[in-house]
Amino acid sequence: MVKVEHPEGDPWRMFAQFLPGESKAYQGLNRGKRSLVLALQKPEAQAVVHRLIPEIDVVVINYRPDVPAKLGIDYVTLRAIREDLIHVDNTAFGRQGPLAQSPGYDIIAQAISGLMVREGKFDPESGTPKGSLTPISDYGTGLAIAWGVCAALYHRERTGEGQMVESMLLQTALAFQGDVVFDPPASGRGEVPEDGTGPSAPGVGRELPRAVDRTRPTSPQQNGEHLPPGLQHAGRCDRDRRALGDAGGQGADRAGHGLPGGL
């Protein structure tokens, strides 16, 4: 595995560094990788990557959707060099939608998806939700990428075809919550219970901290205006009807209706 790094260094090198340009976080994420220092904004650096591609099976990119083409490392460009290349394109919010061109980190994906408030951890003074100390969206997306690459390599072994594999932090954060993202009132029905508990409340079954205004929604699931448009009415699940049964035999409204592609 070869990590291409800008001459200024990966930002994780500066996180709690114990030596100049060295940190345990960086070492933990990059142990065992070979290193290649390139400023990909320069044509000569892009040419180095292009010379390596015929010997490379998988390329993993972690940029906004508009960046790879500017650096000459997008799927179309690299596929022209090696037709059966596996090209992984990871983004924060996907390649379509109002947030597509926005940068994003694990903590942002936790907040927008509602995963942060579902942890049930709040600042005792302000009531502000606290994210998981483990970057669950980052690590989960890494696992999803590994599975996607294995599937793509198996497909190539059987067919000789390469392909582009897409992943995103937001998708991972939503997937980890299962059907919770369809809970009311995101579905358009139901209110936050007076006692601050119930399926719509943070950390199911827990009370909200006193600093939180119980009369207002407290998470992206409970306040659609904080979600991308495609997620504001995600699912439209009618849990009351599903619980009671539907005389017409159709059950709840189609779960997943209104979700962005891939979700």
Given 138, 183, 238, 253, the catalytic residue: 138
Closest to 208 in 3D by CA, of 195, 221, 220, 219? 195
For residue 195, give the 3-state DSSP assignment.
Answer: coil
CA distances from 141 to 5, 107, 196 (A): 20, 13, 32
Closest to 108 in 3D by CA, of 116, 118, 97? 116
Q: Give the count of beta carbons closer than 10 Å to the beta carbon of residue 14.
A: 15
Judge whether 138 counts as a catalytic residue. yes
Q: Identify any residues that bridge with 127 across adjacent strands, giving them in sequence order.
A: none
**Which residue intervals of 160-251 are DSSP H helices?**
169-175, 229-232, 239-244
- Residue 223 phi, psi dihedral angles, 5° rounding: -140, 95
Closest to 3 in 3D by CA, of 37, 35, 40? 35
Q: Give the count of beta carbons closer than 10 Å to the beta carbon of residue 80.
A: 11
The beta strands (E) that lie in 97-247 are given as 163-168
**Which residue intervals of 66-119 are DSSP H helices?**
67-71, 75-79, 106-113, 115-118
List residues with catalytic annotation. 138
